[in-house]
Amino acid sequence: MRSRELVFLMYHELERPGRPTCQAAAGYVRYVVPEFHFRDQMLWLRSNGWRGMSVGEALTFPKGPGLAITFDDGCETDLLVAAPLLKQIGSHATFFVTTGFLGKSGYMSISQLRELAALNFEIGCHSLTHAYLCDLDDKGLHREIVESKSRLEQILGTIVTHFSCPGGRYDLRTARVVKDAGYRSMSTSRIQRNSSSTDPFGLGRIAVLRDSTPSAFQAICEGRGLWKSKFRAGVQDAAKGLLGNSVYDRVRGLLIRDA
């Protein structure tokens, strides 16, 4: 029998009417899900009996329909928009925070982050400055993975055990540093479901995008048609390999508009 496989959803900032997003570039906004879409998605999960879990819970692979819900970056909408809707449907989730963004415009302040943690949501680390980890030397990796962990733990007064990679990008060296730092898992953007035999330092996640339709969302939750997401990401990866990360980011807006 195949072991139980779970989908890990990946969200970023949510959009509330009249509220500017943290960044305006097309490559960023593509990942910003409008509040009313997010609400519909959460209500669909509840009405279909899906259990929304944190990464820590999902890694115990409990029985029954369920998936992990994660947010990257630490935007203010984590607390203002996502948290109340998650509470409304009785769902847990993990919020991965870029420590160096705390207090910046559009991102949570330290007190907002503590408020989110006090609501019983799991807080994970999403690096210090959102640098692409594969591009860094050992000192840089230490700063982004180890120092950011201690800083977050000082703020929260608890141990932080889950990490997610900025831009989803990682390699074996990154995974080793994350493991040695004392984290229990590393979430990436690999498009795959996870099972108890998946390496916890290479967990897959599926991005929910601005243009994800209700049927596309339902398919993602059920782990159907992941090849479509893979195909789109494969085209992006090919471009990254060809151009390098920084050039890729500059032209990404154009690529997305053309897609």
Q: Give contact residues for Zn ion (rule: CB under 5 A).
A: 72-73, 166
- By beta carbon distance, the residue nearest Zn ion is 72
Angle at 33 between CA 257 and CA 209, to 5 degrees: 55
CB 98, min distance to Zn ion, A: 6
Complex with Zn ion: residue 45 or 175, whichever CB lies closer: 175
The answer to whether residues 144 and 150 touch, using CB atoms and an 8 Å cutoff, is: no
Rounded Cα gap, residues 17 and 191, in angstroms: 30
Tell the residue number behind the tokens 């540093």, with chain if given. Answer: 177
CB 252, min distance to Zn ion, A: 14
**Which of 12, 3, 14, 5 minimizes the C-alpha distance to 39?**
14
Complex with Zn ion: residue 66 or 166, whichever CB lies closer: 166
For residue 237, which phi and psi values (nearest 5 degrees)?
-60, -40
Rounded Cα gap, residues 5 and 192, in angstroms: 9
Complex with Zn ion: residue 73 or 144, whichever CB lies closer: 73
CB 166, min distance to Zn ion, A: 5
Other Cβ atoms closer than 10 A to 143: 16
Complex with Zn ion: residue 73 or 175, whichever CB lies closer: 73
CB 31, min distance to Zn ion, A: 9
Rounded Cα gap, residues 109 and 245, in angstroms: 29
CB 105, min distance to Zn ion, A: 16
Complex with Zn ion: residue 66 or 204, whichever CB lies closer: 204
Phi-psi group of 187: left, alpha or beta (phi > 0 → left; psi -120 to 50 → alpha; rest → beta) = beta
CB 258, min distance to Zn ion, A: 23
Complex with Zn ion: residue 73 or 122, whichever CB lies closer: 73
